Structure 1
Amino acid sequence: MSALLEVRGLNVVFSGFHAITDLDFTLQAGELRFLIGPNGAGKTTLIDVITGLTRPASGSVQFAGEELVGKREYRIVRAGVGRTFQTSVVFDELSVLDNLDLAAGFRRRMTGLLRRRHGISDDVASALDTIGLGDLADRPAGVLSHGQRQWLEIGMLVVQRPRLLLLDEPVAGMSRDERDRTGELMQSVAKDHTVLVVEHDMAFLRRFASTVTVLHEGRLLCEGTVAEVQADPRVQEVYLGRKERV
């Protein structure tokens, strides 16, 4: 595998507060990586920097050899970076199919978006199958369960053909069955994409993660396999407390 994302010397400061300090982070092409840490560790801030929502005080974010710092958000999307948010962003009044078709059309000209759709594109059909919502294709997104809305949002990213997917707490608020289905979906998506997952659910982490990066107070604390992170006393102390285990 080769490096797809390289973060070097990243510093983010908000009104004197150092949210990220001298962070170096590398993500290899084809990885499914989990990013964990206590509240305020800098996880979402890192994703915000990668996607252009936050501009760092200093440092570099290279994606496929291209510098992302200073680029507009839409240019980062077009470069191949997609993201979900902690609260799903779908169009409730549109059908599941129309949400996917609208997302798939982001590369089209505006006139293409305004034309009536004739049939289902291969990308949309594949995404429907991947997220398991084929039976609900014609239902409005507003009737979906919380988990189904998250799957739809992941599908809306997949049809845009990103090289990197950033998933911010994708299983927050889900039932156990929904969490398991989401983990299986992430593993399926990771066969064709690089995926970085910010997550707090440790049972979910143990089941679905292979490589983990731990942040603490805006710095990289450790990274490695789940077993290596579980065995690191620093993680047990700063993330879970001495009496708890990852």
Structure 2
Amino acid sequence: MTVLLEVRGLRVVFDGFAAVDGLDLTVEEGELRFLIGPNGAGKTTLVDVVTGLTRPVAGSVRFAGRELVGKREHEVVRLGVGRTFQTATVFEELTVVENLDLAACFRMPLRSLLRRRRGVSDEVAAALAETGLTALADRPAGVLPHGQRRWLEIGMLLVQRPRLLLLDEPVAGMSRAERERTGELLHRVAAARTVVVVEHDMEFLRRYARKVTVLHQGRVLREGSVAEVQADPEVREVYLGRAGGRAVG
């Protein structure tokens, strides 16, 4: 398979503390990868570096063969990397379809925006269908429940046509039914794109993860299937065991 994201020797230091300390990571195109680890393991910092929010003191981050370190956030997005944050970010006063349409305009040159026809574009319609929000297209985003806001946020990434989606704790605060629908959505999205999910919900991970990377103290501790990661004694000691027996059973 083709390597899409390649991180080598990444080091990020905040006030003398190494949040990421010589991290190496490879993600192949078409993967659905989960990142787990205790608080402070470096998960969100890694995503921040990839997306241009944080500059490392050392190391390389290559996406589709191009170096990302030193690029600004909008440059990373234009190269095909999209992300969500731990808190859903949508325009509450706009409708669902208006949020998607605004996100879709990001890649358009000014002349295309001026000629943009009225109505729902094919890409917006596809995102509505993929996220299950078609029936809510004209509803203000501000009245959506938490789960639907998260799905809208993912839809806003999809219309930007990314090759890589980085999702930070997408099921935090969701009901069981919402988590199940989100897991199904992730598998649909990953059928045509590469998806990396930062997650703490172990039940969700066991059900939907394909490959897992465990981070600890800013480095990769273990990689493998859910079963392989759960069976690793060191992983159980530094992370999974802290969540109690339900996390490793």
Q: TM class by shorter-chain length?
A: over 0.9
Cα shift at 1:118: 1.1
TM-superposed deviation, 1:110: 3.8
SS across alignment from 2:8: strand
Residue type at the aligned position of 1:36: I
Q: 1:50-89 maps to which residues of 2 (within 5 A)?
A: 50-89=50-89
- Say if 1:214 and 1:223, in contact at 8 Å, map to a contact too: yes
Q: Which amino acid aligns with 1:173?
A: G
Q: CA deviation at 1:22?
A: 0.7
Matches within 5 A, 1:138-153: 138-153=138-153
**TM-score of the two chains, using structure 2 as the length reference:** 0.96
Structure 1 residues without counterparts, runs of 5 or longer:
none
Report sequence identity in percent: 72
1:206 corresponds in structure 2 to 206
CA contact (8 A) 1:124 1:159 kept: yes
Aligned residue runs from structure 1 range 92-103, under 5 A? 92-103=92-103
Partners of 1:240 and 1:24 in 2: CA distance: 22
- Aligned-pair CA distance for 1:108: 1.4
Deviations 1:82-115 (A, max 9, x none): 0000001100000000000000110113464466
Q: Tell me: CA distance 1:206–1:223, structure 2 relative to 1, closer, same or farther (3 Å).
A: same
**TM-score under structure 1 length normalisation:** 0.97
1:1-246 paired onto structure 2 within 5 Å: 1-110=1-110, 112-113=112-113, 117-241=117-241, 244=245, 245-246=247-248
Q: Distance in 2 between matches of 1:192 and 1:116?
A: 26
User: Does the 8 A contact of 1:41 with 1:217 survive in 2?
Assistant: yes
**Contact 1:23/1:219 (<8 A) preserved:** yes
C-alpha separation in 1, matches of 2:99 and 2:40: 33
Q: 2: distance between equivalents of 1:134 and 1:6?
A: 36
The code of the aligned residue for 2:71 comes to K
Q: Which AA in structure 2 matches 1:51?
A: T
Quick one: distance in 1 between partners of 2:115 and 2:83?
27
Question: How much is the aligned-residue C-alpha RMSD, in angstroms?
Answer: 1.3
SS in 1 for 2:239: helix
Structure 2: 5+ residue stretches without partners: none
